[in-house]
Amino acid sequence: MGLGAEANLGDSIITTKLDEAINWARSYSMWPMAFGTACCGIEFMSVAAAKYDVSRFGAEVVRFSPRQADLLIVAGTITYKQAPVLKKIWDQMCEPKWVISMGACACSGGFYDNYTTLQGIDEVIPVDEYVAGCPPRPEAVLDAIMRIQERSYDESIIKDREKNFKGILDA
């Protein structure tokens, strides 16, 4: 025997918090945007292919416009010349937005320790999940997507995310 609305309407109604309903929908409808610059971009293609099928996790709608995406997957080497472009893409994404740094080059510069290569994209934009490897396995990318789904389920629609992040391109 339920209390309140459930007692009067039976099994035809579910009561919940607005945060929980919205976060449940968000967590199973990630719209990724792939920013693939090197070999990790090819590895991301295998994640979306039939064998691994990222659509099982609600992330099959790969967008190529930052204004339609909420999950940025940076796959590959980022140079200092590309850093302002990456920052602009991240700024154009709608809130809430998440970032996956995929591969050794995006996470730490990889084996490119020179004056042109950014030593990790976390110098420019905040990163939610790091996927290690050169190249990373598709299972690791799927695991990062599932961890972001778990994190997105516990967020509030009232609080802003990542407002205090200052990267090297911020004034």
Number of domains within the chain:
1
pLDDT-based confidence at residue 66 (cuts at 50, 70, 90): confident
Residue 82 covered by a domain: yes
Q: What is the pLDDT of residue 2?
A: 56
Give the CA count within 13 Å in the CB-facing half-sphere of 101: 24
Judge whether 120 lies within some domain.
Answer: yes
Residue 5 forms part of a structural domain: no
CATH number at residue 122: 3.40.50.12280
- Is 169 a domain residue? no
- Beta-strand pair 32-36/129-131: unpaired
Annotated binding site for [4Fe-4S] cluster: 39-40, 105, 134
pLDDT classification of 36: cutoffs 50, 70, 90: confident
- Where does residue 95 rank: exposed (0-12), middle (13-18), buried (19+ CB within 10 A)? exposed
Residue set of the binding site: 39-40, 105, 134
pTM: 0.82
